[in-house]
Each structure stands twice: as C-alpha cells, then as structure tokens.
Structure 1
Amino acid sequence: MSAFALVFLILGMAILAVTGRLIMGPTIPDRAVALDTINTLVAAAMIILGAIFDSIVMVDIAIVYAALSFVGTLFIARHVEGGF
C-alpha cells in the first residue's frame, strides 16, 4: 500500500466519522463545525491529488475551495447568531 493510499484511507475514515456528527449533532453550531471540518478534509484530499498527478491547477482549485468554504462558514455563523 502506497503512502498516498494510506492517507486517502485515513481521510476517508475521518470524513465518515465527522459525517456522523454532521447528521446527529445536537446543535446547529456542532453541525456547522462538522461541515467545516469535512470541507477542510476535502481540500486536503484535493492537495494530495495535486501532488499525485503533479498538477498545480488542482492545488489552486483546493485553495479557492478552502477560501469559499471559509466564507460559507462565516455566513452560517452569522445566521446562527441572528445577524441576518
């Protein structure tokens, strides 16, 4: 098993574990944190794919995805606080 396959296995298991918190989370902030964690893990997987395929574009897309995920998390936090 290559190192990249092992990393993808660990990332997949982490995403499954966090998905449980996303579904069962007792409060909305718990679910928001779980969703942000999943987005971070997906961005990490995209960066690893960029390293595997030697693609700078994939890394750029991962950075944009992470930035948009951050903005989405800010909107969710503002909505939970009652800012809208």
Structure 2
Amino acid sequence: MIDIVIVAGMHLVGLAMIFALWRLLRGPTAPDRILALDTLYISAIAQLILFGMLLDTEVYFEAALIIAMLGFVGTVVLSKYVIRRDIVE
C-alpha cells in the first residue's frame, strides 16, 4: 500500500516540476524565473527522497542533500545578481 502512495506522490511531484518548468521558460520577469528554478530544486529533492523511500536505500537522501545545498547557493547568487547586477562584492 505504501508503495502505491509513494508512486502517486512521485507523479504529483513530477506534475509540479512540469508546471515549474513552464514558469521557468515562460516567466515574464527574472524573479519569476528564479522562483521557478528554486521550485524545481525543491521538487527534485522531493523526487529523490520519494525514490529513496521506494527503493529503501540511503544513497538518494545524500544526493538530495547535495542538491539542497547547491540549490540554496544558486538561488542566493541569482537573487544577488538580479538586485545588484554584480555577484562579487
């Protein structure tokens, strides 16, 4: 039963990723695109965690942690670039 729920959750997160990708490609402003990219990071983390739960392995949790760290740094750098048009102070 739990496997069915995990697979259903993976499908819903995949649908959220498609919507975020649509906003990333179609977003009228740069902040919209940054927010869509951040949503894609979070959705990728959720997919990896659900996949790790489905396969009952811990490797995917570590990969999700790495994506979370890179996603945070990427969002900060992109936001800083949009605000000041300069990344390095």
> What TM-score, normalized by structure 2, do the two folds share?
0.87
Q: CA deviation at 1:56?
A: 1.3
Alignment of 1:2-81 (within 5 A): 2-81=4-83
Distance 1:5 1:51 in 2: 10
Q: Could you list the runs of 5+ residues in structure 1 that have no partner in the other structure?
A: none
Q: Could you list the runs of 5+ residues in structure 2 that have no partner in the other structure?
A: none
The runs of 4+ residues in structure 1 deviating greater than 3 Å are none
Q: CA deviation at 1:2?
A: 1.1
Percent identity between matched residues is 32
> Secondary structure of 1:55's match?
coil
Number of residue pairs the alignment of both structures matches = 84
Alpha-carbon RMSD across the aligned residues, in angstroms, is 1.3
Distance 1:62 1:81 in 2: 28
> What TM-score, normalized by structure 1, do the two folds share?
0.92
